[in-house]
Amino acid sequence: MLWLLTVVTAAALLVIYQGVRIMARTPAVAAPVALSSHAPTPSRASASAAPRHRASPHPKASATAAVSGPQVSDASSGLSYQLLSRPWRAGCPASLDTPVFSWSAGENAVAGQVSIGGSTFDWHGNACSGLLQQQFQYAGPEDLEPTAMGLVGALDPAYYTGLVHSRTVQDSSAMQVSGHPAWVVKFLMSYPDAAAEGLRWTSELGAVVLVDRATGQAPAVFYVSVPANLGVSSVSVLIGSLRLS
């Protein structure tokens, strides 16, 4: 029996020895810990926080910043805009009021004189505002573009027929004025007979801005036209300064 006990003991020791060897070759369970430390799975909190941060828009100062310096304020249309420095002065020229257009505020500067039909007249650069007249159909913001284009077409016979000229639309695009939908049409007037007509300029940059005020209210109209010798950059300055109260 002693020999049998010896064999059983030896066999048991052999099994324990083999088990130790197998355990020694088995990888440690620390691998998932190392993986989590180098490539952590984002939590629900961190995953949701990042998109909120990326989606937060940067504030646009130009959209709400007040315009500094002297202003023209039009109580009728609610529009206000920058009053340019000399030679510009407050007031829309009375000669611009017609059966089609009526202006309630504005500014102007004398660009020079023109000779028409043997008479000499002052020619102004001007920026004027008022309400859309009933002659122009308007039912809502969807009419901003066609109505603005119609205004430009009506300006031509109203103000420019005395001079030989051609008109080219430079831009027609949507914009906003104090959060209200609007449409701007920029146009260039060219004067091929400028010298014969006494003009000191050969072109004039103009624009019409039509602003939707609200349902049931007539839109606001802004009209600007600046001869080249007065500096056509004023057109963009004035449009950029537009506010609606």
Contact criterion met (CB below 8 Å) for 161 and 98: no
DSSP secondary structure letter of residue 42: P
DSSP annotation string for 51-89 = HHHHHSPPP-HHHHPPPPS-EEE-TTT-EEEE-PPTT-E
| Residue 152 parent element (H or E) | helix 144-159
Name the nearest CA neighbour of 97 among 113, 118, 76.
76
Contact criterion met (CB below 8 Å) for 188 and 203: yes
Q: Which residue has the tokens 């920029």?
A: 186
Please give the pLDDT value at position 2: 34
CATH superfamily of 69-244: Mog1/PsbP, alpha/beta/alpha sandwich (3.40.1000.10)
Going from N- to C-terminal start, the domains of the chain cover 2-53, 69-244
- Determine the Cα–Cα distance for residues 88 and 111; give it in Å rounded to an integer: 10
Note the pTM of the prediction, 2 decimals.
0.73
What does the pLDDT look like over 91-109, one tens digit per residue? 999 999 999 999 999 999 9
| Residue 128 parent element (H or E) | strand 119-131
Please give the pLDDT value at position 39: 33
The pLDDT of residue 64 is above 50: no
What does the pLDDT look like over 176-222, one tens digit per residue? 999 999 999 999 999 999 999 999 999 999 999 999 999 899 999 99
- Looking at the DSSP bridge assignments, the partners of residue 16 are none
Name the nearest CA neighbour of 201 among 227, 164, 168.
227
Residue 204 CB burial class (10 angstroms; 0-12, 13-18, ≥19): buried
Name the nearest CA neighbour of 110 among 233, 239, 201.
201
